[in-house]
Amino acid sequence: MDKIRNKYYLLLLVVGYLFPFTNTETGWEYTQSPLQCFYIFEYINIDGVEATGDGEPGNVYGECVNNPYTCNVVGAFIERDENIHGDLNDDGELSSSVDVCVGWGYAKSEGYSTIPLIGEDATMDATTGYLESGDIPSFKIYDYVNDIILPIEISNIYYSEYLYDVNGDGVWSAEVEAEPFTDLNDNGE
């Protein structure tokens, strides 16, 4: 079963470079690039109720893809000036402030919802205006119960990173925690 699932993930990766991932419920869309990272939300609550979903990435398989409008969708966005980056939302007008979707995924009911964040790759026009080094995205959630998009208020943020010795040279191990993060906002969090 794991071999089959791994093949689907590989297929997802290849297809993601060719076609954008578009969410049925919201219309949010992003194109994958090799420049990516992930936010993991331990728990997401809407009005005190845990978000609903299977946590799968969109457009491939899963309960949420097979049953639209039955799951909550989490999107990552970065604000951009179209006077600098061009018409990013293809509406024919240039605005000084548009939200560019840089990733989305279905919430996971059991917790640990993983949302991809895609970076701008200079070799891929489809990623123009995406995340650049130092950018901090904002997040929104589609509440399927009330058919509304809400901002996600983020609190209790902590950061930890574990580096694995992927090339076997003995430099890092899974037990060694990375250096603490840099406070980009200078707000002590």
Cβ atoms of 116 and 10 closer than 8 Å: no
CA 20 vs CA 15, 16, 132: distances in Å = 8, 6, 19
Residue 162 lies inside a defined structural domain of this protein: no
Give me the domain span that covers residue 140.
2-151
Residue 137 lies inside a defined structural domain of this protein: yes
Global pTM value: 0.72
Q: Which two tokens stand for residue 16?
A: 């993601």
Residue 84 has what pLDDT?
Answer: 85
Residue 89 has what pLDDT?
Answer: 76
Residue 13 has what pLDDT?
Answer: 46
3 state DSSP class of 127: helix
Residue 66 lies inside a defined structural domain of this protein: yes
Residue 81 lies inside a defined structural domain of this protein: yes
Going residue by residue through the chain (189 aa), what tens digit of pLDDT does each one get?
566 655 554 444 444 445 689 999 999 999 999 999 898 998 899 988 999 999 988 767 889 999 999 999 999 999 998 888 887 877 888 888 889 999 999 999 998 999 999 999 999 999 999 999 888 899 999 999 999 999 998 766 655 555 445 555 555 444 555 555 455 556 655
Domain count, the chain: 1
Residue 160 lies inside a defined structural domain of this protein: no
Cβ neighbour number for residue 20 with a 10 Å cutoff: 13
Residue 62 lies inside a defined structural domain of this protein: yes
Residue 180 lies inside a defined structural domain of this protein: no
